Amino acid sequence: MQLVKLLLQGNRRALARVITLVENDEKEKLGILQALYPHTGNAYVIGVTGAPGAGKSSLVDRLLAEARTEGLSVGVIAVDPTSPFTGGAILGDRIRMQEHALDPGVFIRSMGSRGSLGGLSRSTRETIQVLDAFGKDLVLVETVGVGQSEVDIVRAADTTLVVLTPAAGDSVQTLKAGIMEIADLFVNNKADLPGVERTFAEIRAMLDLRSEQPWRPPVIKTICTKGSGLGQLWEAIGAHRAHLAADNRLHEERQLRVRLELAGEVEHLVKSKIWEEIRERVSLEGLIQQIVDRQRDPYSVARELLELINFPF
């Protein structure tokens, strides 16, 4: 496969094309991902999540700069589930990260929800693997922390940063429980704004309520617009990475991730196959209308559909 060969040689255009194939779920995708898989497992993945406007892109931009200072090559994925555009035109991000975009050690990609038939979290995970195989040392993934698919995306990260700000409606209580649990580090951004001490205290109080865990997420104040607190944050990320590396934790985490990935792949295959078979035999529209009209019920119809395709259960 010429495209895979080019990508592994470090060809950026091949990289961009492969990511587009992955995002659009093209039929070549499977073969490409299979060929790339042996070359993955080297990139360190940092997930950045938080409410809209919390400063995630500004943070990613700053982290990129820290990573580049250390000579690390970096891939950035900005996931925008609300964006109707493919290959996502998040204009603000584009403008801010333009400086980095010219840097050959940096590859930036935005992903919208269109075209990702297998779901956004699936195509994001696959894109992480592509960037990993390409040879990126670090992959930064920005997601808006609102839904389950974002939580799933963040699960693909080695270190997860949750960004909170003093802004109204962005308090600890309003965050989804799942997101609080996956945070390895809390970034208390916009520390130049009033109310930052309260947010800081709220996060710490929430952490105090938790049972003792091997890693207590640090809370770091940052002002991304000025770059303050970034050195401290970078160090804290390094400390978390060292924590994972100790006692075989990273290995265990990655085993768990592969277990989830494998289960996800099996479920995906089963699901798509079942629907394909069902759609070949019946049109759902009539049945749906009958259920809406209360002539039928969803419970028996679901079972009937599976009997129709001889599904063993």
Query: For binding to ligand GTP (CB under 6 A), which residues are involved?
Result: 50, 52-58, 92, 144, 189-190, 192-193, 223-225
Alpha-carbon distance 254 to 156, whole Å? 9
Q: Do 152 and 183 form a contact (C-beta atoms < 8 A)?
A: no
When CB distances to Mg ion are compared, the closest residue is 57
Region for residue 143 given its phi and psi (left: phi exceeds 0; alpha: psi -120 to 50; beta: otherwise): beta
Give me the least distance between CB of 241 and ligand GTP, in Å please. Answer: 23
Contact of residue 229 among ligand GTP, Mg ion, none (CB under 5-8 Å per partner type): none
Give me the least distance between CB of 200 and ligand GTP, in Å please. Answer: 14
Q: Which residues contact 181 (CB under 8 A, 6 or more apart)?
A: none
Q: Which two tokens stand for residue 218?
A: 């640090």
Interface pick for Mg ion out of 22, 33, 51, 57 (rule CB under 5 A): 57
Which CB sits closer to ligand GTP, 130 or 224?
224
Q: Which residues contact 134 (CB under 8 A, 6 or more apart)?
A: 7, 8, 10, 15, 75, 107
Which CB sits closer to ligand GTP, 28 or 192?
192
Q: Is 123 in the site for Mg ion (CB under 5 A)?
A: no
Give me the least distance between CB of 150 and ligand GTP, in Å please. Answer: 11
Q: Which two tokens stand for residue 94?
A: 């584009």
Return the DSSP state at 218.
Answer: P
Which CB sits closer to ligand GTP, 21 or 54?
54
Q: Is 124 in the site for Mg ion (CB under 5 A)?
A: no
Q: Which residues bind Mg ion (CB under 5 A)?
A: 56-57
